[in-house]
Amino acid sequence: MSYFDGLGENEWWQNPVVLSDFHKCEQGSLWNARNFKEALLSIGLESPADLTELERRKRWYRANGWKSAEMIQDYTTGGNKWNSAGSSDPVLCEEWMEVHKLVPAEEQSRRKRWLDHQLSDEQLQVRRAWLLQRSQDARRIHFSELGDLLAQLNDGVHPSDDEIQAIEDAIRADQKYHSIFEGITRQDVMKAMKATRFYIGATKEERMRSEQEALEALQKEEMDRLEEEAAHLAQEAFEELEAAGEEYVPFDEAADAEEEEYLKALEEEENAKMNPNEDDLEMAWELHKEEEEEEITENSEDGHREAMKKRQRTLEEAFAKEEYGGEMGDEDTDAVKGELVDDVKAALEDLVKDDGWKEDETSRWNAKQEEVEDSMAAANDFVLPLREVANPQYLKGYFTLMKYTPSVNLISTSQKRIWVVDHFTQCFYNLAKNNRIRKEHAAKKLIQLEKNVLDNTRLRMMFFDASHSYDVQFVNANERERFYETASAIRSVIRVFAPDLVGENDVKSRVIIDGTGANALSVICPDASSKPVKRQLVGECRINATRHLTEPISVWCGTFNIGGHRPPKRKEDLQRWMPRGKYEIYAIALQEASFRTHDNEWTDYVQDYLGEDYLPIASMFIWDIILLVMASKRSLLKITNIEGSTRGTVHKSACGNKGGIIISMQYLETSLCFCTCHLTARNEHFAMRNSMLEEIIGNIRLGILDADVTAQFDHVFFFGDFNYRCDVDVSKAETFIKSNNYEELLAHDQLIKQQNSAGILHGFLEPVIKFAPTYRLNVTSSEYVLKSSPSYCDRVLYKSMLDSWIKCTGYSSDPDLILSEHRPVSATFIVRCVRPVLSCFMKSQRPVPEFVFDDITVKEYTGGAIRKPTLCICARFAPNTEPILSRETNTATPIWKKETIPVLTSVTQVQEYLETRHILLVILEGSERREVKQGRGTGVITLKGRVIGKEDTHTEFETDIVFRGKSIGKLSGSFMWRALKHAKEE
């Protein structure tokens, strides 16, 4: 009946047959079953559903009991019993009965005749077995065909009778139980050829290709013959039906497809016994691969430092020479990690078809969010004469750089290029040897401008009109920074921090730099060989500038355990949980997304829901866990350094369905990290959940690979199904929920307790919970399943570096989105992201700071003795430094002396920018010779309040050492900054 088409598995008990079972006897095995499967097995009396569920069914029956099979029969025969059963509206009852009444006797007879013509289950099995056997037979050849097959395998040379006889004898000896009429398989021929050494002349690849082609040709010929035979049989059957006066049943494509899928599965199962699929060996192969990579790393660890020094020397030598490469027609772009896919590029290109200088700053935020935005005033046009701009040569900057190559041996002057950033023509171009433009890109075609995190001399550019990215390397970090600054200033979609360019009474301006007429200017600047040359600057250029160092963006993070269900049919059901179009970035985490038709089903669904103004930044999954990050188109042009990784837990009771995903990125100059996880269930397994969190955090490596993933990004958002429960009686929990006393309920929350006692997720905060527990509820209602205490399994936490600005603007659940036993949770944030700064155009040239450290000491370390303690100092505003080895060995309290710690020299003079930055102290352990160094913890030093007005002033610091998301000690010391001596004029 069509009534059943709209019923899911969770409503199976509303079936009229089941209702009849209850109508006859309330203790029926169908009515009392826990689920549809147990109802079919009639074990509802042995394993009944819980009382809460049965009471819910009875309440439904009192209102809808008239839907039973007896009432349908009564309505069909003209009775009145159906009209008095239940409490529903009689008009609605009659409409429903009219749709579901029994069909007439004629229709029943016609359906019975059709059913009689269908094959029984036994006949279907016989047919499938016959088809499978015919399929297997198609792979066999007769001995009479052996000579032709061997000739094909032997490059057309027909074998002698003795050679054929030798192979026949080998086959018969190996397969004694086969008769000559059964034919021989491919494996039989291969074994015989190997035993008789028949085929030797060709290579292994040629042999395999020839063998496969020959066998496929024979198989195709046999299958064609079978198809002809099947067509003939079908025609005979059709003629017999017509002669008997029976109705022809049309071909059922769906049934045939199901049968074909079944046969294919059987065939693959048989083949897998002889030739296991490589997917079946994936785990073992991955482990082997990791061991192999570890061995390679071990073998190369000793020479890593020397290799880096050699590379730097080679680069400096190549940059010092006057020659450079770049022939006309050479292609400099390469496919590299982090590129945007073609579909995203095409969708973004519409934004830059016009000049783009009038920014779309329409706020989508609510009133609370607007309170924190102090720069939404419209930008005014401000004309600035070229002669009043500091360092005007950067408005048409010539930069010598190198096409990046990972091999030191390939570094040469042929890889050198001259790139020009020309603000007057709004173009990027590079020059050929004859100083002609060999490649040109309009500034508005620049999609991504990305600074490499691991190598502070590398930079990646991606343009709409280039096939791939330009991955380039500069002679030093300072040159890269100057290129990045002027390249950022030329982009119309970016507003840069340049207070000296903004109008006197303005917060932000569209600066028009006038270099026409009398304002034209000649400047002296170095050419490719560092010789001074005179260049004329003429024309007009524009820069979007502001006095505000940060730009606020809105972030939405949501998590939902969908319990194996597909997305809601009505997309509007998501509106309360995920408001459409209100935020720049959406990060969506899903758990138990097992019933998806393809890997991108949820990505396509969310894309369709949010609309064409949003595009996916990254989408990753492991097992049934999905993490999807979407961004508005205009925001996507400011996002770089996109990375992601997954980790499945290896605990034997959870292997294969639990794990975590982390995706990181950079918005302008601020790094963001989105993490999700699905941890093991059950109230008593909180220790296992702690261990899984450590495993996920400790084994995912992003950004600075040796640093803890929770300690190196400006803002980390961690959300998912943590599965931590509330240790409280069910009755007490129910009382707390009914009185909205969530604070008392949270006093028993395992996650909060484990953060305090076991130290997990160190530094992470959670907004105040003002909503009811999100687990465990009925799938069809808002009532809790009281088998265990209702709990807050689904959470959103966040962690920010000290003095980084973030504000949570909402934390809620959607109790009306009923899709599984969980309810979705979401949190919203405002994050202030640091803009690019223009040090090169500052009128007041401040001293460039260099940071000098005193001794750095480890205290209260609980991570065990470190055999060879090594310290890496990392900062995104400074060149790379070499690791420092402590004089102490095999100790838990190493000290790195002042004289061994390198000076950290800033690449910018902008002190306001430096006060937003942080320095990472990464502790590594290296034991014996050739052993891989391993991360043993990460400390973070904030520079807030330690730069402006603090020149030549010693500042003490003490920071937590974070390892696998837990604090295991302290790093303490002091530092000061001083002006860089003998610095060249910028």
The string of DSSP codes covering 83-119 is: HHSSSS-HHHHHHHHHHHSPPPHHHHHHHHHHHHTSP
Given a cut of 50, whether residue 662 has pLDDT beyond it is yes
Given a cut of 90, whether residue 239 has pLDDT beyond it is no
- 397-416 in b/e form (b: 16+ CB < 10 A) is bbbbbbbbeeeeeebeebbb
* Tokens coding 967: 């604090």
- What's residue 7's pLDDT? 45
Cβ atoms within 10 Å, residue 710: 25
- What's residue 296's pLDDT? 37
In a shared domain, residues 730 and 701: yes
Looking at per-residue confidence, does 373 or 103 come out higher?
103
In a shared domain, residues 186 and 204: yes
- What's residue 572's pLDDT? 86
Quickly list DSSP for 427-468: EEEEE-TTS-EEEEEEGGGEEEEEE-SS-TTEEEEEETTSSS
Best CA proximity match to 555, nearest among 578, 510, 587: 587
Query: Sorting pLDDT into bands at 50, 70 and 90, what band is 282?
Result: very low
CA–CA separation, 399 and 428 (whole Å)? 11
In a shared domain, residues 776 and 875: no
- pLDDT, mean of residues 516-534: 78
In a shared domain, residues 687 and 753: yes
Q: In whole numbers, what is the pLDDT of the chain averaged over residues?
A: 79
Question: Residue 452: exposed, middle, or buried by beta-carbon count in 10 A (0-12, 13-18, 19+)?
Answer: middle
Task: Report which DSSP code applies to 635.
Answer: H
Kindly state whether residue 108 falls inside one of the protein's structural domains: no
- What's residue 295's pLDDT? 39
- What's residue 939's pLDDT? 95
Looking at per-residue confidence, does 410 or 976 come out higher?
976
437-442 and 446-451 beta bridge pairing: unpaired
Given a cut of 80, whether residue 318 has pLDDT beyond it is no
In a shared domain, residues 571 and 540: no
Given a cut of 60, whether residue 375 has pLDDT beyond it is no
Task: Report which DSSP code applies to 496.
Answer: E
Task: Report which DSSP code applies to 518.
Answer: G
* Contact assessment for residue 937 and residue 708, using Cβ atoms and an 8 Å cutoff: yes
Given a cut of 90, whether residue 380 has pLDDT beyond it is no
**Which distant-in-sequence residues (6+ apart) come within 8 Å of 347 by Cβ?**
612, 615, 633
Task: State which residues form the domain around 225.
Answer: 121-248
Question: Residue 104: exposed, middle, or buried by beta-carbon count in 10 A (0-12, 13-18, 19+)?
Answer: exposed
918-944 per-position pLDDT tens digit: 999 999 987 555 455 678 999 999 999
- What's residue 435's pLDDT? 72
Q: How much is the CA Rg of the chain, to the nearest whole Å? A: 36
Which amino acid would we find at residue 66?
W
Task: Report which DSSP code applies to 355.
Answer: -
* Contact assessment for residue 350 and residue 509, using Cβ atoms and an 8 Å cutoff: no
Kindly state whether residue 851 falls inside one of the protein's structural domains: yes
- What's residue 382's pLDDT? 87
- What's residue 710's pLDDT? 94
In a shared domain, residues 731 and 851: no
CA–CA separation, 595 and 593 (whole Å)? 6
- What's residue 523's pLDDT? 85
39-74 per-position pLDDT tens digit: 766 667 767 887 888 888 777 776 676 667 667 777
Cβ atoms within 10 Å, residue 213: 12
* Contact assessment for residue 474 and residue 402, using Cβ atoms and an 8 Å cutoff: yes
In a shared domain, residues 93 and 132: no
Task: Report which DSSP code applies to 866.
Answer: B
* Contact assessment for residue 427 and residue 539, using Cβ atoms and an 8 Å cutoff: no
955-967 per-position pLDDT tens digit: 999 999 999 999 9
| CATH, residue 560 | 3.60.10.10
In a shared domain, residues 448 and 332: yes
CA-to-CA dists, residue 443 to 340, 347, 463, 485, angstroms: 18, 18, 9, 14
Query: Sorting pLDDT into bands at 50, 70 and 90, what band is 125?
Result: confident
Kindly state whether residue 362 falls inside one of the protein's structural domains: yes
Q: Which of 92-101, 147-156, 179-188 has the highest mean pLDDT?
A: 92-101
CA–CA separation, 806 and 852 (whole Å)? 30
Query: Sorting pLDDT into bands at 50, 70 and 90, what band is 984?
Result: very low
- What's residue 259's pLDDT? 60
In a shared domain, residues 817 and 872: no
- What's residue 27's pLDDT? 64
Given a cut of 80, whether residue 172 has pLDDT beyond it is no
955-963 and 895-896 beta bridge pairing: unpaired
Quickly list DSSP for 27-90: T-TTTTBSSHHHHHTT-TTTSBPPHHHHHHHHHHHHHHGGGSHHHHHHHHTT-SHHHHSSSS-H
531-535, 541-545, 795-799: which range is least confident on average?
A: 531-535
CA–CA separation, 749 and 774 (whole Å)? 13
Residue count (the chain): 986
Given a cut of 80, whether residue 155 has pLDDT beyond it is no
Kindly state whether residue 107 falls inside one of the protein's structural domains: no
Kindly state whether residue 335 falls inside one of the protein's structural domains: yes
CA–CA separation, 454 and 713 (whole Å)? 14
In a shared domain, residues 187 and 145: yes
Query: Sorting pLDDT into bands at 50, 70 and 90, what band is 559?
Result: very high
Kindly state whether residue 53 falls inside one of the protein's structural domains: yes
Q: Which of 197, 230, 248 is at the close of a domain?
A: 248
CA–CA separation, 608 and 476 (whole Å)? 45
Kindly state whether residue 963 falls inside one of the protein's structural domains: yes
CA-to-CA dists, residue 404 to 306, 373, 417, 465, 704, angstroms: 19, 40, 11, 20, 20
Cβ atoms within 10 Å, residue 460: 21
- What's residue 280's pLDDT? 38
* Contact assessment for residue 520 and residue 538, using Cβ atoms and an 8 Å cutoff: yes
- pLDDT, mean of residues 910-923: 94
Query: Sorting pLDDT into bands at 50, 70 and 90, what band is 31?
Result: confident
* Contact assessment for residue 727 and residue 684, using Cβ atoms and an 8 Å cutoff: no
- 463-482 in b/e form (b: 16+ CB < 10 A) is bbebeebbbbbbbebbbbbb
| CATH, residue 542 | 2.30.29.30
196-210, 508-522, 622-636: which range is least confident on average?
A: 196-210
358-362, 682-686, 765-769: which range is least confident on average?
A: 358-362
Query: Sorting pLDDT into bands at 50, 70 and 90, what band is 423?
Result: very high
Query: Sorting pLDDT into bands at 50, 70 and 90, what band is 567?
Result: confident
593-618 per-position pLDDT tens digit: 877 667 788 888 899 999 989 999 99
Count: domains in the chain? 5
| CATH, residue 970 | 2.60.40.150
428 φψ region: left (φ > 0), alpha (ψ -120 to 50), beta (else): beta
Q: Which of 248, 279, 304 is at the close of a domain?
A: 248
Given a cut of 70, whether residue 407 has pLDDT beyond it is yes
In a shared domain, residues 386 and 510: yes
Looking at per-residue confidence, does 413 or 287 come out higher?
413
* Contact assessment for residue 48 and residue 33, using Cβ atoms and an 8 Å cutoff: yes
Given a cut of 80, whether residue 90 has pLDDT beyond it is no
- What's residue 203's pLDDT? 54
- pLDDT, mean of residues 168-178: 70
In a shared domain, residues 533 and 565: no
Given a cut of 70, whether residue 108 has pLDDT beyond it is yes
**Which distant-in-sequence residues (6+ apart) come within 8 Å of 925 by Cβ?**
866, 867, 868, 869, 870, 933, 934, 935, 936
- What's residue 937's pLDDT? 93
- pLDDT, mean of residues 337-359: 64
Q: Which of 483, 514, 546 is at the close of a domain?
A: 546
The DSSP H or E segment spanning 675 is strand 670-678
Given a cut of 90, whether residue 973 has pLDDT beyond it is yes
Task: Report which DSSP code applies to 863.
Answer: S
Best CA proximity match to 336, nearest among 640, 707, 635, 631: 640
Given a cut of 60, whether residue 328 has pLDDT beyond it is no
Query: Sorting pLDDT into bands at 50, 70 and 90, what band is 279?
Result: very low
The distance of Cα 373 from the centroid of its chain, to the nearest Å, equals 30
- What's residue 283's pLDDT? 34
Q: Is the dihedral of CA 39, 44, 49, 53 positive or negative?
A: positive
